[in-house]
């Protein structure tokens, strides 16, 4: 039933999407979706690098300085306006 989507069906779906969201909002939505995907990709890469660095015992020992160091999340390559330093969360609750 859904296996055969031809050109008329795809065009109809695109027209409905444009009517629902408006032609002015679609580029902004696509841009924000792209930025979100880049951030997700960079965070996944950073987590993967952190996991591999802690799994190898031949590396330097982990100190408190490495875990509290700041990382910079960059939304897109060369986009300086949206990059910001991020500090890791600390536990401020008192026991």
Tens digits of residue pLDDT in 5-54:
889 999 999 889 888 888 788 888 889 999 999 999 999 999 998 888 76
How far apart (Å, rounded) are the C-alpha atoms in residues 11 and 60? 57
Q: Determine the straight-line distance between the first and last CA of the chain, rounded to whole angstroms.
A: 60
Give me the pLDDT at residue 17, please. 86
Strand partners, 64: none
Cβ atoms of 39 and 75 closer than 8 Å: yes
pLDDT-derived band at 67 (thresholds 50, 70, 90) equals: very low
Pick 25 or 64 by higher pLDDT: 25
């Amino acid at each position: 039933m859904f296996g055969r989507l031809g050109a008329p069906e795809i065009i109809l779906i695109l027209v409905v999407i444009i009517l629902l969201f408006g032609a002015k909002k679609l580029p902004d939505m696509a841009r924000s979706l792209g930025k979100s995907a880049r951030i997700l990709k960079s965070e996944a890469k950073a987590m993967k690098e952190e996991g591999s660095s802690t799994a190898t015992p031949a590396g330097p020992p982990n100190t408190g300085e490495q875990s509290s160091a700041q990382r910079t999340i960059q939304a897109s390559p060369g986009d300086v306006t949206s990059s910001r330093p991020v500090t890791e969360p600390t536990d401020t609750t008192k026991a």
